[in-house]
Amino acid sequence: MYDFLRMIISFVFVLGVLVFIHELGHYLAARWRGVHVDVFSIGFGKPLYRWHDKVGTEWRLCPIPLGGYVRPHGFADPEDVSEEERATYISGKTFHGKGVGSRAIVIAAGPIFNFLLAIILYFGLFLTVGKHSLGDPVAQAIVADSAAAKAGIQTKDTIIKIADINQPGVEKLVLFAQQHPDLSTTVTVKRDGKDMVLPIIIGSKEQDGKKIGLLGVQLGANIIEGKPMSVGNAAVAAVEETWDVSAKTVEGLGQMIIGQRSAKDLGGPIKIAQLSGQVSKGGFADLVGFMALLSISLGLINLFPIPVLDGGRLVFYAFEAIFRRPVPKPIQERAFQIGFVLILMLFLFSTYNDISQFSWFRWLTGHSN
């Protein structure tokens, strides 16, 4: 019960902070560009608490902590609202009354603030505890009759090379194996202080209609603790880390699209909640690092060129800036319908991935071990 409560509290805290920062970006950019904001909501559903600030924005705290939104004044297309509603508009303060550049700034500010949050979080971590890193992969358990077992890999062996890849790290090692089923190569391990080169034939299995490679070894890695950095070094390292994580995330998504990585790795809200609870056990520093990762993911996802997301709107504004006219209304409406379906499918698929990891679900579907 205690672990469940910690998971829920950590999840609400993490998601609440990320959503607030994202929407704060939209809000501040709107205020900067002279657009009045009608509503700033954290969560969805009937408001639990609401208040109005001195400029007339209504702030809401709602019970469903799966997102939030900022509603700029006059956000809907003018032709979509009644004469009575248009009559209530504040002159010069409507979203659609601004130029395409100002509208793009308001929309882009949400994802930008997520990247800025990640940089700030990493900066704080590197300044106080340093930059931790993972050491070489260590064999924690060997699957019987697997490729690793046949090659002679033993528990506590440190894998320092596979094929021509030196110090591959856990993720790169697993990915290399997945992409090279049945490959005959060599793996170099360090055992009792000595390097040993072992011949290995990577195993394989069918997954989602495609053959993937398997080593048959449970891997771990020692955490190499860093030292607190100076302000300048921490700032530079924070920017570099945010860039590296962003690039790796995009690369991983690309590998899912072309089939190099299983789409089952894609997690949804349940997995985020589980991970939030797990990392909170490691202390506040681990939770902050996890928040930085999620903030980057949220920023990247919102930049996808899908019409219901910020990235999709930015594509429309780019079209308007280039051709000096907005995307035709029927095309916008159809694009938003398709975008909504895509997002719904993505949500359902990631949630399915989450619940499929539970033993009761595998039992119900006949996939229990």
Which residues participate in catalysis according to the annotation? Answer: 23
According to DSSP, the residues that pair with 201 across neighbouring strands are 184
Name the H helices within the chain: 2-32, 83-87, 100-128, 147-151, 169-179, 231-258, 269-280, 284-302, 310-323, 329-355, 359-364
Q: Are 146 and 203 in contact (CB under 8 A)?
A: yes
Element at 210 (helix H, strand E) = strand 210-214
Which is it for the CA torsion 12, 17, 23, 27, positive or negative? Answer: positive
Structure tokens at 259: 């089939």
**Calculated CA dihedral for residues 102, 76, 31, 294, nearest 10 degrees:** -90
Contact 267, 304 (CB under 8 A): no
Cα–Cα distance for residue pair 9/138, rounded to 1 Å: 33
Residue 136 CA to residue 167 CA, distance in Å, equals 6
